[in-house]
Chain A
Amino acid sequence: GAVVSQHPSWVICKSGTSVKIECRSLDFQATTMFWYRQFPKQSLMLMATSNEGSKATYEQGVEKDKFLINHASLTLSTLTVTSAHPEDSSFYICSARESAGVYEQYFGPGTRLTVT
């Protein structure tokens, strides 16, 4: 149980285009989903926290107009990287938490984004 999927697993896009990444909780309802970014040989950096049906809370330094997050249902959250640039190339990982009081986060397999 507690499986989180991400799609796509990797994507290459041209500079200036937008890319959407989906995160799904397959066998549980995720009241909270988290989006992380990880650069090579660095730790996870939390980008934003989203609760179903409400606006995402972005971490300091993360542009909300560039990284659009939609948590439309209890099983789906999407991250759209708008007007992507080469410096946005990174490993994007989502995680999901089942409900308040449950502390464990279940991670998706990650999406490797390369912007050329």
Chain B
Amino acid sequence: GQNIDQPTEMTATEGAIVQINCTYQTSGFNGLFWYQQHAGEAPTFLSYNVLDGLEEKGRFSSFLSRSKGYSYLLLKELQMKDSASYLCAGMDSNYQLIWGAGTKLIIKP
């Protein structure tokens, strides 16, 4: 079966660094997406990885290991506005996104 696992909730301090992990099992693999979703709003795209390694984009970086079925999203210099849910999604061989349940990130001052 297809499955995406990520922690339900994480707490971090403003200015710190946090890593949100995601493990995936998909039928075929066409990449791994990270989205940010604030409460009551639609998801916004953060990153896409299809090759192994680290992709850096400002304060956010995303890592992929295809052999381990593992990805993480790294957020640096945390700001209060980063409080949101972070959704991990794997794309299968049919180009369908398989969504994780999301990780709610709480930032404390």
A interface vs B, CB < 8 Å? 42-46, 49, 91, 93, 103-110, 112
Contact = CB atoms under 8 A, between A and B. Distances in A.
Q: Which of A105, A109, A110 has its CB near the most chain B CB atoms (within 10 A)?
A: A105
A49 B95 CA distance: 11
Nearest to B104: A41
Contact of B41 (A46, A105, A110): A110
Given A43-B101, A43-B102, A104 B87 contact: no
B43 A103 contact: no
Contact of A109 (B35, B42, B48, B97): B42
B41 A44 contact: no
Interface string B4-34: 0000000000000000000000000011010
A104 B48 contact: yes
